[in-house]
Structure 1
């Protein structure tokens, strides 16, 4: 049995996140567990999630889930916009709540791009990270 779709394809936050993710070398998108997942060999970003014990929390429903560098994990959690998502949080992932930030015009998309870039670098094959570095 497949998961129900748990996002709105016309969500303006997703519309801004998608090109950031898909601009990375060989990045692709697939819907998995009802949500957009961005990946190369491994997933590096997810749009939307849940919080343990509250699968319908508005804080997580419209969020970027990403894998931060371990050295930044605690500092990010000190910011109220960040949370530990259900399921992937156990392996170090965090979420950035767009619900707590506000409309897409209030989101710092440069910050989002940096978080996505860092997560990509931690999960993508070395050859793709090298290709990304050569673009700069």
Structure 2
């Protein structure tokens, strides 16, 4: 059974995340479980997530879900924007809600961190060579 699409392609927050994620070497986008997923050989970020509360999924439609360093994860969970996403949270992923006051440099850094954890040495070297 196919998952329903859970995003609006015209979403301006998605457009910003897409621009940042696809600027990373060899990054591509695919739809996974109804949401945009950014990947090389492995997924490094998703757009949108959810949490399960009392058996009901609460959507975080305008958020980015990334795999970051455990120390950074704890700091993000202390922030009101951070949440532990369903399914991926137990594996160390973290969700960060986006809004009108979003620090896009921070989101770029989170995408970079997730990319570095999953992209492999060659791609990380290509990213470092850009600096």
TM-score band by shorter chain is over 0.9
3-state DSSP of counterpart to 1:116: helix
Superposed CA offset, 1:81-130 (max 9, x none): 100000110100000012xxx33xx2110000000000100011111001
Partner of 2:122: 127
Cα distance in 1 for residues equivalent to 2:31 and 2:90: 21
Written as runs of structure 1 = structure 2, the 5 A alignment for 1:47-126 is 47-53=47-53, 54-57=56-59, 60-98=60-98, 102-103=99-100, 106-126=101-121
Cα distance in 2 for residues equivalent to 1:130 and 1:41: 15
**Structure in which a larger fraction of residues adopt strand:** 2
The total of aligned residue pairs comes to 129
Structure 2: give runs of 5+ residues left out of the alignment: none
Displacement of 1:62 in angstroms is 1.4
Query: How does the TM-score come out when normalised to structure 1?
Result: 0.91
Runs of 4+ in 1 over 6 A off after TM superposition: none
CA RMSD of aligned residues (A): 1.0
Written as runs of structure 1 = structure 2, the 5 A alignment for 1:5-44 is 5-44=5-44
Displacement of 1:43 in angstroms is 0.3
